């Protein structure tokens, strides 16, 4: 085999989607219930185990959420690290059959590969007062989640206050979350993910830095 053919075969293999959910129906329901649990209790760290590997730069939880919640009616926007990964894009399109958009304002789901780069949420759709459901859900990959007191959360789904510490984000992110909450009933909903856990911050959540 010539070097050119070898290179073509390697590139083709690299762009092939890998396995999605092991048991598509059961696992999709399990992930969906976990997202509902996390959304109903903002700041609660919800574990997701027994997930298949995901193509970089997607982590396992981000990929599982997409494979469970995204479909042909859910346009996805992703940052450049994900958008330029042939295998990550093939994985999402093959398993979700979802359209991709280059405009974050058109996305129902947006993917951020590195939370440390995110300092504003204004590029995403916040819906309208009449149709707040048209807003984006933004999935942000972070380095770690813990119930330490870096920030405090209040709002619906939180009995009093809930402490949260997130590794891999900057202070500008929390300022953006505060500004997002002021838009209610408009605003984006956020899901922070690691390789094995997630935290949801719906637009109703207030952040005390």
| 62 touches 139 (CB < 8 A) | yes
For residues 123, 200, 118 and 128, what is the CA-based torsion angle, rounded to 10 degrees?
A: 10
HSE-up of residue 20 (Cα within 13 Å, Cβ side): 23
Q: How many Cβ atoms from other residues are within 10 Å of residue 19's Cβ?
A: 10
The fraction of the chain above a pLDDT of 70, given in percent, is 91
Q: Which of 191, 163, 167 is closest to 177 using CA atoms?
A: 191
H or E stretch at 25: helix 24-40
Each residue's pLDDT tens digit, 22-74: 888 899 999 999 999 999 999 999 999 999 999 999 999 999 999 999 999 99
pLDDT of amino acid 15: 54
Is the pLDDT at 6 greater than 80? The verdict is: no
Residue range 148-170, pLDDT digits in tens: 988 999 999 999 999 999 999 98
Structural contact between residues 194 and 60, judged by C-beta atoms closer than 8 angstroms:
no
Considering the domain 21-208, what is its CATH architecture?
3-Layer(aba) Sandwich (3.40)
Mean pLDDT of the chain: 92
Provide φ and ψ at 64, rounded to 5°.
-65, -40
pTM for this model (two decimals)? 0.91
> Which residues lie below 8 Å from residue 140, measured CB to CB, with a gap of 6+?
112, 115, 118, 169, 190, 191, 192, 193
CA distance 13 to 82: 18
Residue 3 has pLDDT above 80, yes or no: no
For the chain, domain boundaries: 21-208
Whether the CA torsion 120, 177, 116, 194 is positive or negative: it is: negative
Residue 12 above 50 pLDDT?
no
């Amino acid at each position: 085999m010539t070097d050119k053919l070898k290179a073509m075969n390697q590139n083709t293999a690299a762009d092939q989607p890998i396995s999605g959910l092991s048991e598509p129906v059961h696992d999709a329901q399990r992930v969906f219930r976990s997202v509902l649990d996390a959304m109903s209790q903002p700041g609660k760290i919800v574990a997701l185990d027994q997930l298949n590997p995901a193509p970089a730069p997607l982590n396992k939880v981000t990929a599982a959420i997409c494979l469970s919640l995204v479909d042909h009616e859910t346009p996805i926007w992703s940052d450049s690290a994900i958008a330029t990964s042939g295998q990550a894009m093939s994985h999402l399109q093959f398993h979700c059959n979802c359209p991709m958009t280059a405009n974050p304002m058109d996305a129902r789901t947006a993917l951020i590969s590195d939370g440390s780069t995110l300092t504003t949420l204004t590029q995403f759709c916040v819906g309208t007062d009449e149709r707040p459901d048209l807003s984006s859900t933004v999935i942000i990959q972070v380095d770690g989640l813990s119930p330490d007191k870096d920030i405090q959360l209040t709002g619906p789904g939180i009995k009093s206050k809930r402490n949260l510490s997130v590794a891999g984000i900057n202070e500008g992110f929390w300022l953006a979350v505060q500004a997002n909450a002021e838009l209610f009933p408009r605003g984006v909903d956020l899901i922070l993910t690691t390789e094995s856990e997630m935290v949801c911050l719906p637009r109703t959540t207030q952040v005390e830095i």
